[in-house]
Amino acid sequence: MDLAAKLAVLADAAKYDASCASSGSNKRHSRDGKGLGSTTGSGICHSYTPDGRCVSLLKILLTNFCIYDCLYCINRKSSDVRRARFTPDEVVQLTLDFYRRNYIEGLFLSSGIIRNPDYTMEQVVKVARTLRVEHSFRGYIHLKTIPEAAPELIAEAGRWADRISINVELPDLQTLAPEKNIWRIRTSMTVIQQKIEQSKAERRESVKAPSFAPGGQSTQMIVGATPTPDRAILAQASTLYGAHRLRRVYYSAFSPIPSASSKLPLIAPPLVREHRLYQADWLMRFYGFDVAEITSEAQPDLPLDVDPKLAGAVRNVASFPVDLNRAPRELLLRVPGLGVRNVDRILGMRRWHRLTLADLTKLRVPLSKALPFIVTADHVPKLVAQLPAAQRQLDLFVPATT
Amino acid sequence: MFDGPMDAPAPALPTAKHRVPRAFVDMARRVACHRDLQRWALLYRILFRLTHGEGHLLNIAVDPDIHLLVRMEKAVRRDVHKMRAFVRFRTVTAEDGEAWYVAWFEPEHYIVEANAPFFTDRFASMRWSILTPDRCAHWDGAVLHFTAGLTRAEAPDADAVEPLWRQYYANIFNPARVKTHAMQKEMPKRYWKNLPEAELIPDLIRQAPGRVETMLARSHAQQTPGDSK
Ligand code: SF4
């Protein structure tokens, strides 16, 4: 098989991983002309594919041969997909060739498991080591690690990589991935986290101390392959952000794969649901929302027709309306349609300027969404009963006995 | 302060000693690269107001001048970012027989000088030129210099690695989740003509539904009757 044919197979096999981020690492450059590449801290998307996803890294598998049989995965051993395998040198060369032409920020390498976890991890680490040591490559490297691999190999992966990930895939992993174990994954994440923190502390003492995955670790969860509700998915994410300090949790709408196992749904990927999960994740990370505020026991799934912030506001209608000219930051952040940037702008100008609806239009606040929840110098909302039908339909809020 | 690339006159600065917020200086530096001619008048007006009793002006995001300043700054910032993203180098052979990387890019604003250090930070070990209609930046391995704008015809029109890049682009795309709006929001059509991968887009979109159907049909056929849910 020639290089182009291998690339087709091994890019195709990698596309179910949603992450392509190249952000959050140390800043590096090669101004001295000795190496190649730089990282600026905030990643760059070099292209976008028609699925709306960013192309930032060369995201490929070293091989899609695999001895495991995870049912949701196109590369599982029982799948009849076409197989290919790169040599480590081929991946190194491709990365350098693409990088020099400014197609990518770096490499995201993962692999099916061949022979055994250690052998596979060694091959993956070899690519990263060759790039860093032989070519002084200073671009971004993201390595997917195998929790079953020896700790020394994971340690070396972190030495060369900017980011490390292990995919959780499913809160109820074992049902579909017989060889995998969520607790082993969580243990690996803990070990990695300790190394990240240790290296950060050492580097504060001395800049010469080796770095360890300075871009942190991330993971991915598949959505819609099993009946797991959003509440369980978000609870899992919340634990991962809290206990394991993960940098990012990615949600990937389960996408039908060729020759799928009969235990899986053969339907279009639930893209709206995936979008709502990202919105909820955002609310948890940047707005201080808690899982219990976004979903409930009775309604464990996020509504699809409205965004989670609006749904939450409708449910907690008693804490509205919020006076934009007086309310504290925490309350402003709960207003549907108001983002962090605009909240800060509003706070910045209130001392000198009383906000009106015209101002909000200028700030591009979606008024139709915000109006029922806010008070401005020239606006007091109508009663809740007069909310647009779409919001009432949610029947999430108990009409206050007015 | 206005070390923008332009030969347009710098605005007259007030003679008395005045302090302006650092944020204004940073923003002005970027807005100075904007193509819109009203930038100088706008910057002057804001500078005047900042130094004449409206020291807090930058906080008033809804003030018409500040609103425009923020919008223009954002446009320049976005253009800078898109240039870093969408420059595509192609190799040509230099006189000494070694590779020289050449790109053609059409920026919206006057950002070539301001953005060149990003490329020297990243590609100092290569020799390269970025050609644009306004200005061209050249790095010979030691020194960065600029020359007058050129036309697209001066840039190379192919590169041996591009077929591999297109192969990658076509295969990393998932036909089961077409979202062309999201793509175009971040990669507007006006950039497509200079992106070697973009010529694949129409075909990828056209073939997507068929590819998904074939895949589902194949999977359904493999699941034994009564087995599927
Ligand atoms: S181990 Fe990874 S590549 Fe192998 S079947 Fe499981 S998910 Fe797929």
pLDDT digits (tens, 9 = 90+) for B55-67: 999 999 999 999 9
Test A101 with B161 for CB contact under 8 angstroms.
yes
Q: How many helices (H) and strands (E) does chain A have?
A: 14, 10
- Provide the token pair at A13: 């096999």
Separation between Cα atoms, residue B221 and residue B209, nearest integer Å: 18
Show the DSSP H helices in A305-355 as ranges. Answer: 308-315, 329-332, 340-349
Confidence band (pLDDT; 50, 70, 90) for A265?
confident
Q: Which of B83, B81, B72 is nearest to B32 (CA)?
A: B72
How far is the first Cα of chain A from the last one, in angstroms, to the nearest whole number? 73
Confidence band (pLDDT; 50, 70, 90) for A384?
low
Q: Rounded to an integer, what is the distance from CA A269 to the centroid of its chain?
A: 17
Q: Burial of B186 by CB count in 10 Å (0-12 exposed, 13-18 middle, 19+ buried)?
A: middle
Considering only A272-281, A330-339, B9-18, which range has the smallest mean pLDDT? Answer: B9-18
Query: Which pLDDT value is given to residue B4?
Result: 45
- To the nearest whole angstrom, how far is the Cα of B8 from the nearest Cα of chain A? 31
Distance A163 CA to ligand 1 centre (A): 20
Residue A39: phi and psi, rounded to 5, are -135, 140
Task: Tell whether the model's pLDDT for residue A388 goes beyond 60.
Answer: no
Query: Which pLDDT value is given to residue A400?
Result: 33
Task: Tell whether the model's pLDDT for residue A87 goes beyond 60.
Answer: yes
Test B222 with A33 for CB contact under 8 angstroms.
no
Query: Which pLDDT value is given to residue B202?
Result: 94
Cis peptide before A321 (omega within 30 of 0): yes
Residue of A nearest to B68 (CA): A362
Q: Which of A10, A12, A16, A75 to mutate to test the pocket of ligand 1 (most atoms within 8 A of CB)?
A: A75
Task: Tell whether the model's pLDDT for residue B217 goes beyond 60.
Answer: yes
What count of other Cβ atoms lies within 10 Å of the Cβ of residue A28? 20
94-153 of A, contacting B, C-beta below 8 A: 94, 97-98, 100-103
- To the nearest whole angstrom, how far is the Cα of A190 from the nearest Cα of chain B? 31
Q: Which of A341, A332, A342, A326 is nearest to A309 (CA)?
A: A332
**Ligand 1: residues whose CB is within 6 Å?**
A 66, 68, 70, 73, 75-76, 112-113
Most confident of A9-23, A373-387, B196-210: B196-210
Q: Which of A312, A249, A307, A256 is nearest to A281 (CA)?
A: A249
For the four alpha carbons of A293, A251, A108 and B182, in that order, the dihedral sign comes to negative
Choose between B227 and A164: higher pLDDT: A164
A252: chain B residues, CB-CB within 8 Å: none
A38: chain B residues, CB-CB within 8 Å: 118, 121-122
The residues with which A322 forms a beta bridge, in sequence order, are A374
Test B178 with A97 for CB contact under 8 angstroms.
no
Separation between Cα atoms, residue A328 and residue A312, nearest integer Å: 18
Query: Which pLDDT value is given to residue A387?
Result: 54
Half-sphere exposure of A318 (CA within 13 A, CB side): 7
pTM beyond 0.95, yes or no: no
Query: Which pLDDT value is given to residue B222?
Result: 64
Query: Residues A326-337: pLDDT tens digits?
Result: 999 999 999 999
Query: Which pLDDT value is given to residue A398?
Result: 35
- Mean pLDDT along residues A142-164: 93
Separation between Cα atoms, residue A309 and residue A339, nearest integer Å: 11
Residue B102: phi and psi, rounded to 5, are -125, 135
The CA-atom distances, in angstroms, between A228 and each of A175, A224, A235, B73 are 12, 7, 11, 45
Query: Residues A93-132: pLDDT tens digits?
Result: 999 999 999 999 999 999 999 999 999 999 999 999 999 9
Look over chain A and give the mean of its residue pLDDT values, rounded to a whole number: 88
Task: Tell whether the model's pLDDT for residue A394 goes beyond 50.
Answer: no
Query: Which pLDDT value is given to residue A348?
Result: 92
Confidence band (pLDDT; 50, 70, 90) for A391?
low
- Provide the token pair at B126: 């290569």
Candidates A9, A20, A101, partner chain B, best to mutate (most B CBs within 10 A): A101
Q: What is the pairing mode between strands A106-110 and A322-323?
A: unpaired
- Provide the token pair at A291: 């899982």
Test A352 with B118 for CB contact under 8 angstroms.
no
Q: ipTM score here? A: 0.89
Query: Residues A24-40: pLDDT tens digits?
Result: 888 899 999 889 999 98
How far is the first Cα of chain B from the last one, in angstroms, to the nearest whole number? 68
Separation between Cα atoms, residue B198 and residue A399, nearest integer Å: 52
Query: Which pLDDT value is given to residue A179?
Result: 80
- Mean pLDDT along residues A33-50: 92
The residues with which A60 forms a beta bridge, in sequence order, are A109
36-75 of A, contacting B, C-beta below 8 A: 36-38, 40, 44-55, 58-60
Q: Give A131's DSSP letter.
A: I
Which of A30, A48, A102 is nearest residue B88 as measured by Cβ atoms? A102
Separation between Cα atoms, residue A11 and residue A71, nearest integer Å: 20
Separation between Cα atoms, residue B196 and residue B183, nearest integer Å: 16
Are A281 and A252 in contact, with CB atoms under 8 Å apart?
A: no
Q: What angle do CA A139, A141, A146 make, to 5 degrees?
A: 170
Query: Which pLDDT value is given to residue A257?
Result: 75
Which of B118, B165, B204 is nearest residue A50 as measured by Cβ atoms? B204
- Mean pLDDT along residues A203-213: 89
B195: chain A residues, CB-CB within 8 Å: 47
Contacting residues for A131 by C-beta, under 8 A, at least 6 apart:
A92, A95, A96, A107, A137, A141, A160
Test A15 with B171 for CB contact under 8 angstroms.
yes
B69: chain A residues, CB-CB within 8 Å: none
**What percent of chain A clears pLDDT 90, i.e. is strictly above it?**
57
Query: Residues B157-179: pLDDT tens digits?
Result: 999 999 999 999 999 998 888 88
Separation between Cα atoms, residue A300 and residue A187, nearest integer Å: 28
Query: Which pLDDT value is given to residue B228?
Result: 34
Residues in chain B: 229
Test B164 with A36 for CB contact under 8 angstroms.
no
Test A260 with B186 for CB contact under 8 angstroms.
no
DSSP state string for A137-193 = B-SEEEEE--TTS-HHHHHHHHHH-SEEE---B-TTGGGT-TT--HHHHHHHHHHHH
The residues with which B101 forms a beta bridge, in sequence order, are B91, B128
A9: chain B residues, CB-CB within 8 Å: 171
Query: Residues A365-383: pLDDT tens digits?
Result: 999 899 999 999 999 987 6
Query: Which pLDDT value is given to residue B11?
Result: 58
Most confident of A247-256, A285-294, B193-202: B193-202
The residues with which A48 forms a beta bridge, in sequence order, are A54
Most confident of A15-19, B140-144, B174-178: B140-144
For the four alpha carbons of A252, A256, A260 and A264, in that order, the dihedral sign comes to positive
DSSP state string for A23-68 = -SS--B--TTSSSB--B-SS----EE-TTS-EE-EEEEESB---S-
DSSP state string for B16-78 = S-----HHHHHHHHHHTT-S-TTHHHHHHHHHHHHHTT-TTGGG-TTSHHHHHHHHHHHHHHH
Query: Which pLDDT value is given to residue B13?
Result: 57
